[in-house]
């Protein structure tokens, strides 16, 4: 499996679900965009979760083996969280689900975020309070991913977290459409395939009738 020939897929309408979709079967063969350390850096850049200068620093500072190890941890986190989402999609979360999320809290406790005053042309004073993150080790690359997963469970209504209805599709998405009628990861991909399949079925029925 190789992530390089194709751009990563971002159609979930929720960064946490986009992370789960970092392994998918866009054509015929599975593609894992975080199959190794370089893949993880590339995916983080495409997702906009880590500044480009931080990624460049990590490439120069960390060894390929170190980055591969972090990518393996990211894949483990991805599959653990996928099981959580698959079990609970389609219904609201509650405080009863908190105990299952302890692995996320354990990682979040290691985060190195801090407040900072920055220039902001839109603020009345020209200044604003913001948050920045230190990136002391390669493992800190996991922090924005874990934060995206935490925000997903806290801010998204899991009633509308869905799996694409495409027969071979593994993609998940948050249905933010009016009426929550979204069925496909993309109308251009699985939605179009379903239309073609339905058309062929009607043709076959017409011939048999």
Read off the pLDDT band of 6 (50, 70, 90). Answer: confident
Residue 3: predicted pLDDT: 42
Domain count, the chain: 1
The answer to whether position 209 is within a domain reads no
The answer to whether position 207 is within a domain reads no
The answer to whether position 208 is within a domain reads no
The answer to whether position 203 is within a domain reads no
Residue 183: predicted pLDDT: 92
More confident residue, 179 or 2: 179
The answer to whether position 4 is within a domain reads no
Please report where in the chains the tokens 């200044």 appear, as a residue. 127
Contact 11, 162 (CB under 8 A): no
The answer to whether position 205 is within a domain reads no
Q: Which domain holds residue 36?
A: 15-182
Summarised one tens digit per residue, pLDDT across range 26-38 is: 777 889 999 999 9
For 128-152, the DSSP string reads EEEEEE---SGGGGGHHHHHHHHHH
The answer to whether position 6 is within a domain reads no
The answer to whether position 188 is within a domain reads no
**Which ranges in the chain belong to alpha helices (H)?**
15-20, 37-47, 52-61, 64-88, 102-108, 143-155, 192-208
Looking at residues 123-152, what average pLDDT do you find? Answer: 96
Summarised one tens digit per residue, pLDDT across range 187-204 is: 777 867 656 555 455 555
Read off the pLDDT band of 2 (50, 70, 90). Answer: very low
Q: Does residue 87 surpass a pLDDT of 90?
A: yes
Summarised one tens digit per residue, pLDDT across range 105-131 is: 999 999 999 999 999 999 999 999 999
CATH code, domain carrying 29: 1.10.3300.10
């Amino acid at each position: 499996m190789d992530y390089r020939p194709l751009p990563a897929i971002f159609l979930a309408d929720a960064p946490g679900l986009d992370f789960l979709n970092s392994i998918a079967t866009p054509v015929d063969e599975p593609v894992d965009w975080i199959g190794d350390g370089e893949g993880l850096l590339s995916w983080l850049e495409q997702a906009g979760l880590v500044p480009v200068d931080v990624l460049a620093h990590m490439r120069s500072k960390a060894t390929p083996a170190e980055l591969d190890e972090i990518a393996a941890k990211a894949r483990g986190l991805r599959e653990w969280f996928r099981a959580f989402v698959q079990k609970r999609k389609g219904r609201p979360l509650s405080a009863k689900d908190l105990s299952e999320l302890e692995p996320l809290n354990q990682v979040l406790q290691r985060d190195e975020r801090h407040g900072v005053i920055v220039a902001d042309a839109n603020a009345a004073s020209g200044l604003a309070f913001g948050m920045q993150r230190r990136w002391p080790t390669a493992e800190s690359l996991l922090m924005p991913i874990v934060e995206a997963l935490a925000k997903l469970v806290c801010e998204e209504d899991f009633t509308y977290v869905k799996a694409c209805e495409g027969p071979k599709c593994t993609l998940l998405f948050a249905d933010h459409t009016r009426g929550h009628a979204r069925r496909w990861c993309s109308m251009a991909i699985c939605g179009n395939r379903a239309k073609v399949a339905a058309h062929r079925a009607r043709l076959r029925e017409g011939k048999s009738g």
